[in-house]
Structure 1
Amino acid sequence: MDLSLSAIGARVLRTRSLVRAPIALYKAGLGWLLGSRILMLEHRGRSSGLRRYVCLEVVERPSPDRIVIVSGFGERAQWYRNLKAHPQCFVSTGSLRRAPATARLLSDEESAQALGRYRAARPRDWELLRGAIEKATGRPVDGLPMVELALRERPLTRGSR
């Protein structure tokens, strides 16, 4: 039995209840406990139109109103496909609560540049993430699609109305 951090991360990524556990914290107004490196993305289902939620790692914050996230499962990830169909969404991270945003799928070149910056800034985190994704998907990570979330207005912070 492989007990490496990558193997454990892959098991977590394949276990729906574990992947979705942080959503309950955000919905209870406690998402700030997870810090600003994790966000909850609220988006619409491309077919159903229903609200959907996913928690993701923040790759970078190029400016206060821009957040870049990565799709570890590539373009087949449901949230990625939903944003492609309906780019209007909401973001909660750190003290931000349900900030309206518009998603923009980054080009392959932009994604590669963002991934390069992430690798340089967080080499240990990258190795763990890459290993977990490769073990979970059974494929090597060559490049990963990225999404830039542009906050549309001044978001509410914890305790403000």
Structure 2
Amino acid sequence: MTINAPSKPTGLLYLGFRLPRYLYRWHMGWLLGHRMLMITHIGRKTGHRRQTVLEVVRYDPLTRECIVIAGYGVKSDWYRNIQVQPAVEVQVGRQRYAPRQRILSFEETLHLLDEYQQRHPRLFRGLMRVIGYTYDSTPEGLRALSQCLQGVAFRP
């Protein structure tokens, strides 16, 4: 089974994905707790600072490591940018730090998606549908999905 990454969001979905960024800009990112983070990265073509808010799939309070998933896979602009130059800053809750980043392996991403799906089955299916993936909830489907998506870990 092969799953292709959907096209980038447009319209209301695009606006909805951008709204949490304003909470961070208004110094209210703490309202999102450890469920969302904002990364500051440098545009690979323009060299301008960019900011993207992402859902945290796993947070480790001991190491403060946050793991996120590139929902549009390697096509995600923020993901392509951090491949060229590592993220400059991460904000999660009230914390800000210069991160060390690590790209997760296929197996780590698969395990992460499986874990997330088991914790939040309805949310996971809903997110995949909203983003535009055709996911059938089978182990083969999850494996195919994890080949499209890419996990990234950030820690101070």
TM category (shorter chain) comes to 0.7 to 0.9
1:111 aligned partner: 109
Is 2:138 the partner of 1:142? no
* Gaps in structure 1 of 5+ consecutive residues: 1-9, 152-161
* SS at 2:118 equivalent: helix
Hey, what does 2:16 align to over in structure 1? 18
Give the alignment of 1:79-90 within 5 angstroms. 79-90=78-89
> Unpaired runs of 5+ in structure 2?
1-5, 136-143
Tell me, in whole angstroms, the C-alpha distance in 1 between the residues paired with 2:70 and 2:115. Answer: 16
Identity between Structure 1 and Structure 2 (%): 33
CA distance in 2, matches of 1:67, 1:35: 12
The amino acid that maps onto 1:150 is R
TM-score by length of 2: 0.78
Aligned residues: 136
Q: SS of the counterpart of 2:124?
A: helix
Consecutive aligned runs of 4 or more in structure 1 exceeding 4 Å deviation: none
Matches within 5 A, 1:25-40: 25-40=23-38
Q: Which digits, 9 at most, give the CA deviation of each residue in 1:56-80, with x for residues without a partner?
A: 1000014432110001111000000
Q: d(CA) in 1 for partners of 2:16 and 2:126?
A: 17
Query: In structure 2, what is the Cα distance between the partners aligned to 1:88 and 1:18?
Result: 23
Deviation at 1:129, TM superposition (A): 1.1
The C-alpha deviation readout for 1:121-140, integer Å capped at 9, x for no partner, is 221221111111226xxx55
Quick one: structure 1 residues 132 and 17, their matched pair in 2 at CA, closer, same or farther if it must change by over 3 Å?
A: closer
1:99 Cα deviation after fit: 1.6
Aligned-pair distance for 1:83? Answer: 0.9
Asked if the contact 1:44/1:50 (under 8 Å) is kept, the reply is yes
TM-score (normalised: structure 1): 0.76
Q: 2:64 corresponds to which residue?
A: 65
User: Mean Cα displacement is larger for which, 17-26 or 53-62?
Assistant: 17-26
Deviation string for 1:134-157 (max 9, x for gaps)? 26xxx5562121101121xxxxxx
